[in-house]
Amino acid sequence: MDNFLGGFHAVILGLVDTMAQVADYPLFWGFAVGFLTSTIVHAFLLTDHPRDIPTVLFQEKAKGFEQLYAPEKGGTYTKSYAEYSKTAHRTKLLFLIAASIVLLIVGIMLIKY
């Protein structure tokens, strides 16, 4: 058991050291801030209202649609569900691609340096 705990501790220290080296890399923070800004701007352009982004990202499509758009007096909605579904899919895909690219860049930095 002592070997396991010692090995686990060494792995954690190695990860902490590696992340400290990535954080000290001079271009990392410029890339991170620029990429985050670009992702947020694209998300604002995709959605109708920027404050709806968390609802679009973290709610199921049907629940998010019901939460954001209330029916009118006649029971009809002002925006179609198909349009909302397309926007939700694009927004989720944008954040998935952005997260994948960040992980890929960090992985390349870890391998190369």
The pLDDT score that the predictor gives to residue 94 is 87
Reported pTM: 0.66
Residues 6 or more apart whose Cβ sits within 8 Å of residue 79:
69
Is residue 113 over pLDDT 70? no
The pLDDT score that the predictor gives to residue 57 is 86
- Could you tell me the pLDDT band of residue 78, with boundaries at 50, 70 and 90? confident
pLDDT digits (tens, 9 = 90+) for 1-58: 678 888 888 888 888 888 788 778 777 788 888 888 888 888 888 877 888 888 888 8
Please name which of 92, 77, 43 lies closest in space to residue 68, comparing C-alpha atoms. Answer: 77
Judged by phi (left if over 0) then psi (alpha if -120 to 50, else beta), residue 75 lies in left
